[in-house]
Amino acid sequence: MSEEEVKYLPFEEAAKLVAAIQEEEDIHRQDRQILTVYNHDNREICWFDFEELQEAVGPGPKDQQKEAIQNYILKHIPEWALDI
């Protein structure tokens, strides 16, 4: 399935599914940070590249960046995450 075909959960449904978003170091590239998304069973749902998220969200005050990144992630949780 290509990226164009990925379907995302509605924001409210994603917010119920996601328990935590953790900033972590990429195990394959130590100079890269990722944000890993976990469900309420502490299972990894998916992850996002931190730099790509910052580019997608755009510049802004630090206190607003965190919320903007969190909202972006919640709008981009794939439907297949329900099967995890």
| 69/58 Cα distance (integer angstroms) | 10
What's residue 28's pLDDT? Answer: 80
| 27/30 Cα distance (integer angstroms) | 6
Q: Is the pTM of this model over 0.85?
A: yes
| 59/31 Cα distance (integer angstroms) | 21
Residue 42: pLDDT above 90? yes
> 43 lies in which domain range?
3-83
Q: What is the mean pLDDT of residues 57-62?
A: 90
Query: Where does the pLDDT of residue 3 fall: very low under 50, low under 70, confident under 90, or very high at 90 and above?
Result: low
Helices (H), 1-84: 11-17, 50-57, 62-74
Backbone φ and ψ for 12, nearest 5 degrees, come out as -65, -40
Query: Where does the pLDDT of residue 15 fall: very low under 50, low under 70, confident under 90, or very high at 90 and above?
Result: very high
How many domains in the chain?
A: 1
User: Looking up tokens 């990925």, which residue turns up?
Assistant: 6
What's residue 31's pLDDT? Answer: 84
